[in-house]
């Protein structure tokens, strides 16, 4: 199992622009056969800070997501409004 946190930082004046792009990205990604979870959240202290919490069976599934039509089309449209570079954390479950 692969867990991912992806964080976007959108310029305040473009938040309304990206909202429908995010909505479509979430809807289409959840339809991917290998998608286990793809949930989007907004920082309570920063309305331009968008946080994806994702779950995939493995790295190959994440890579396939990043090659999907909706990802390749929508993410560049979102990214042109970033105020700083997005961040990505790929994580393994904790096992004591």
Contacts with a copy of itself, residue ranges (CB under 8 A): 3, 5, 19-20, 22-23, 26, 39-45, 49-51, 53, 89-94, 96
Q: How far is the CB of 39 from a copy of itself (least distance, A)?
A: 7
CB contact at 8 A, 59 and 50: no
CB contact at 8 A, 13 and 86: no
CA distance 36 to 52: 13
Residue with tokens 């700083």: 84
Nearer to a copy of itself, 19 or 77 (CB): 19
Q: How far is the CB of 89 from a copy of itself (least distance, A)?
A: 6
């Amino acid at each position: 199992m692969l867990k991912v946190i992806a964080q976007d930082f959108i310029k305040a004046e473009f938040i309304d622009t990206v909202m429908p792009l995010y909505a479509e990205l979430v809807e289409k990604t959840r339809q991917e056969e290998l998608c286990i979870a793809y949930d989007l959240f907004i920082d309570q202290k920063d309305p331009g800070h968008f946080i994806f919490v994702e779950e995939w069976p493995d790295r190959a599934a994440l890579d396939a997501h990043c090659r999907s039509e909706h990802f390749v089309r929508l993410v560049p449209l979102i990214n042109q409004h970033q105020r700083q570079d997005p961040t990505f954390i790929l994580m393994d479950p904790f096992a004591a």
